[in-house]
Chain A
Amino acid sequence: MTDHPIGKPVPRKEGRKKVTGQALYVDDLSFPDMLHGATVRSPVARGKITNISFNGDIPWDELVIVTAADIPGANYVALILNDQPYLADGFVNHPEEPVLLLAHKDKYLVEEAHRNVRIEIEELPAVFSLEDSLAKKQIIWGEDNVFKKFLVDKGNVDDAWASADLIIEGEYETGAQEQLYIENNGAIAIANPAAGVTVWGSMQCPYYVHKALVKLFGLPDEKIRIIQTETGGGFGGKEEYPSLIAGHAALLAWKSGKPVKIIYDRAEDMVATTKRHPSRTRHKTAVTKDGKLLAAEIDFVIDGGAYCTLSPVVLSRGTIHAAGPYVCPNIRIHSRAVATNVPPHGAFRGFGAPQSIFALERHMDKVAHAVGLTPEEFRRRNFIHEGETTATSQLIRERVDMDHLLTRALQLSDYHEKRERFARENGANNGGFSKKRGIGFATFMHGAGFTGSGEVYLQSVVSAEATAEGKVQILAASTEIGQGTNTIFSQIASEALGLDFESIEIVQPDTGRVPNSGPTVASRTSMVVGKLVESAVLGLKQTLVGSGLLPPEYNDADFTKACAEYIAKFGSLKTSATYQPPPNVHWDDEKYQGDAYGAYAWAVYVAEVSFDELTYEARVEDFVALQEVGRVLNPVLAAGQIEGGVAQAIGFTLFENVVWKDGRMANNQMTNYIIPTPADIPPIRVFFEENPYAYGPGGAKGIGELPMDGAAPAILNAIENATGVSFNQIPLMPERLMTAFLT
């Protein structure tokens, strides 16, 4: 019998394969007669394609060449607005836009051929910044360059300004960020009219790829099969983009009749695939002289790039999180996602929330200073509690104790002692000592699962199937991308059935075999899909008990015997569970009011920094991450999520600078786009508060995205504490710090 695996540091299910090099990623697979594919891309940002020529000493008749004209179905990536073509058809809207595809069995010849395709384009004026897009310098998308806008309106902001003691305004910006999973994007396809299309690839969401390829080929659902291979990190970067590369490989396979593999190298992956949406947020806040929030007006804008892709959903999450874990009677949030001629920005851990939370948590420090309160005291006067409502008027029905979280996080980080000591030491004239130190924090929340009615629309399904040997197989499209899906699902099933952890098997996500449990995104896999795993396996148990083959109290041997007998009698034993929303969840898509998320995780992050006055380098010296995430299902995996997210957020704040040149990433190499190394990361000290969530499996809430939210504002708040200078843009590179202190 089980020893109750939930809450225990059960080792990663596929850990052995990973530490021995036996885990097979897409580039580790090969098929007989396989060709290697390449993507020829637009050299400019915007214009009309006037000519394509094939030059050089290349045996062109040996190459498979695919253009838009070869597409058997619809030339768009089916997602939300279906505005992004698989291959440009006469017109390009961003640098590196795919124009044509090549394949040959000799991958070096494909590279050579790639260099000898010349795409001539009559260039048109392009837009490269969200300011220029908002100003309609050129109309490059639709009537007004706006993909999507939202308005959240609570109370009456306009009437509140007059009664305010103080009105404080601020503007905040965040940059693009590359997901930089260490495994580049890749796919292998086999495709022909008789058998249909099968794709193996590195991906988060097999059914997204499935939906897109059904349209691309104009084939029925059952003729498209998508199989996820071991995936070397995603972070959102393999949410929507794999639909494109899978389609490209499949188009080449369809035309050639042979298996085709496309693997991006790092330079192509960085220059051509999605990044985090750059953002600009303006805050205008009314407060009383004793520091109570009266009204907040927030203008949140994200740069979506050339096509809509997922921008409306990213904008939605950023909008809903823009007002944070505070009570304010009057709030207006106006948000827009706008078009520019850069490669489409896309999903990246946090999904709009890190951008709007950065702005809010910098602004909260600014308002506190203006009112004459400490950042701590100002927040304490405005925290949300059970029974109060968020910006979307969502009534908080769970116990929320931000005061306690803040008290504990400040203790864990020695905040008060350090605040005093650093002020003393920074002020002292200490000769050659050139480092200043500071400490700052951010308080925030992150909603788990899809926004609003999203989970209801998704109608996710998980199945469980028993074998005659007493094994229980979990069938779900939710992918293991490093975060621990295999292990968490096994823990949940093992706990629910009272069976040994090793009795649970996770079936490889394959749309030909597993139901659609929804995309692996939005911190939903443990909380939402995990609950379906629990329901599905409990269905197996009920069936066996109901059939009289399994006693209500049983051991592993009883279970195996009952499975064998049931299967001998009825042929198979499989049950499914479909998503049911928790009670009292209501969402109004029109007014953007209601229960935005089923549950929120709550957190306080504290950063200690040093600032070197000689090199202008800001460095994080210590980091405390305290969060309430419902029940922790696996403490090692959960802490691993937080530590990894915080490290990625430190990169977002201080290291990772996408340099744009005419809409193209100029530093598309690991040599000059710098992510944190083992030498750069401070001790990341992770602490959990547990408050079980009634509708999550074992009481769990989502955590995957949460750690991306709080580090950036905490670090900049700490830098302000160290230097006395307020910075409101990230990434905050040494060059920018130097400029601020030299001028």
Chain B
Amino acid sequence: MLITFNVNNESRTIDVFPMARLLDVLREELHLTGTKEGCGEGECGACTVVLDGRIVNSCLVPVAQVNGSDITTIEGVAHQDQLHAVQQAFIDHGGAQCGICTPGMVLAAVDLLNRNPQPSEADIRNGLAGNLCRCTGYMKIFESVVRAYQK
């Protein structure tokens, strides 16, 4: 089945099995490997992407569902060499350790700040609750989000 969608502001058309997971299509067909698989069942958030302005777990999205949609992956968050404030804050304040949850966590944090530019601590906890990290204990991730919006 031919599917057309925008990925990081670029129109792509691919011939693909309609029930293929969006995660696999991004990684294997489009070679956008920044989107990670952690659990394959929508629990960990490592595969988070932005689909028409909402964050989704791309492991749970059949690609047929994204025909005509706009998708942003981690590769589309920075503008050329200019990192997004969230990305810079994750580097400066220890928000990333092993890095495997980081693409999803950054996208969830950017999405949170888009919806709520000055989130409370509870807002941050709830906003990121769909993304699991095993390295940081989350403290430095929360701090990175706060520093990002303070900029």
Quick one: which of A182, A675, A678 contacts B98, CB cutoff 8 A?
Answer: A182
Contact B34 A681 (CB under 8 A): no
CB-CB contacts below 8 Å: A165-199 with B: 179-184
Residues in A with CB closer than 8 Å to B39 are 266, 669-670
Q: What mask results when residues 46 to 70 of chain A are scored 1 for a CB within 8 Å of chain B, else 0? A: 0000000000000000000000000
Contact B34 A266 (CB under 8 A): no
Q: Given A11-B91, A183-B98: A24 and B33 within 8 A (CB)?
A: yes
Residues in A with CB closer than 8 Å to B78 are 20
Q: What mask results when residues 25 to 39 of chain B are scored 1 for a CB within 8 Å of chain A, else 0? A: 001000011111111
CB-CB contacts below 8 Å: A212-264 with B: 230-235
Q: What mask results when residues 58 to 81 of chain B are scored 1 for a CB within 8 Å of chain A, else 0? A: 000000000000000111011000
Minimum C-beta distance from B138 to chain A (A): 5
Closest 7 A/B residue pairs (Cβ)? A21-B34, A482-B98, A232-B100, A18-B99, A647-B137, A643-B137, A21-B74
Quick one: which of A265, A644, A678 contacts B134, CB cutoff 8 A?
Answer: A644
Contact B140 A639 (CB under 8 A): yes
Residues in B with CB closer than 8 Å to A429 are none
Residues in A with CB closer than 8 Å to B52 are none
Cα of A16 to Cα of B95 in the assembled complex, Å: 12
Q: Given A15-B90, A640-B97: A27 and B37 within 8 A (CB)?
A: yes
- B129 contacts chain A at the CB level, 8 A cutoff: yes
Q: Given A232-B100, A678-B129: A640 and B136 within 8 A (CB)?
A: yes
Minimum C-beta distance from A264 to chain B (A): 11
Residues in A with CB closer than 8 Å to B98 are 181-183, 231-234, 481-482
Residues in B with CB closer than 8 Å to A553 are none
Q: What mask results when residues 629 to 655 of chain A are scored 1 for a CB within 8 Å of chain B, else 0? A: 000000011011011111110000000
Cα of A677 to Cα of B93 in the assembled complex, Å: 20
Cα of A647 to Cα of B36 in the assembled complex, Å: 22
Contact A182 B100 (CB under 8 A): yes
Residues in B with CB closer than 8 Å to A735 are none
Contact A28 B132 (CB under 8 A): no
Given A19-B106, A232-B100, A482-B135, 13 other A-B contacts at CB below 8 A?
A9-B94, A16-B83, A21-B75, A182-B36, A182-B38, A231-B98, A232-B98, A233-B100, A267-B40, A646-B137, A647-B136, A678-B141, A683-B139
Contact A678 B125 (CB under 8 A): yes
Residues in A with CB closer than 8 Å to B138 are 643, 647, 676, 678, 681
- A428 contacts chain B at the CB level, 8 A cutoff: no
Q: Given A644-B135, A647-B137, A678-B128: A19 and B90 within 8 A (CB)?
A: yes
Contact A28 B142 (CB under 8 A): no
Contact A670 B44 (CB under 8 A): yes
- With an 8 Å Cβ cutoff, the count of chain A residues facing the other chain is 59
23 residue pairs of the A-B complex, CB under 8 angstroms, read: A12-B96, A16-B91, A18-B102, A19-B83, A19-B106, A21-B32, A21-B33, A21-B75, A21-B103, A22-B34, A27-B37, A235-B134, A266-B41, A482-B135, A483-B135, A636-B140, A643-B140, A648-B134, A669-B41, A671-B41, A678-B124, A678-B126, A679-B125
- A14 contacts chain B at the CB level, 8 A cutoff: yes
- A684 contacts chain B at the CB level, 8 A cutoff: yes
Contact A12 B91 (CB under 8 A): yes
Contact B99 A482 (CB under 8 A): yes
Contact A21 B97 (CB under 8 A): no
Contact B41 A670 (CB under 8 A): yes
Cα of A648 to Cα of B134 in the assembled complex, Å: 7
Cα of A14 to Cα of B96 in the assembled complex, Å: 10
Q: Given A12-B96, A14-B99, A21-B74: A640 and B135 within 8 A (CB)?
A: yes
Cα of A679 to Cα of B128 in the assembled complex, Å: 8
Quick one: which of B102, B124, B130 contacts A19, CB cutoff 8 A?
Answer: B102
Contact A670 B43 (CB under 8 A): yes
* Residue picked from B75, B124, B125, B138, most chain A C-beta under 10 Å: B138
Minimum C-beta distance from A177 to chain B (A): 12
Contact A11 B92 (CB under 8 A): yes
Cα of A74 to Cα of B38 in the assembled complex, Å: 34
Contact B87 A677 (CB under 8 A): no
- B133 contacts chain A at the CB level, 8 A cutoff: yes
Minimum C-beta distance from A449 to chain B (A): 22
Quick one: which of B33, B87, B103, B135 contacts A233, CB cutoff 8 A?
Answer: B135
Cα of A184 to Cα of B91 in the assembled complex, Å: 24
Minimum C-beta distance from B149 to chain A (A): 16
Contact A678 B36 (CB under 8 A): no
- A23 contacts chain B at the CB level, 8 A cutoff: yes
Contact A483 B140 (CB under 8 A): no
Contact B134 A181 (CB under 8 A): yes
Cα of A233 to Cα of B41 in the assembled complex, Å: 20
- B56 contacts chain A at the CB level, 8 A cutoff: no
Residues in A with CB closer than 8 Å to B141 are 678
Minimum C-beta distance from B64 to chain A (A): 17
- A25 contacts chain B at the CB level, 8 A cutoff: yes
Quick one: closest A residue to B128, CB to CB?
A678
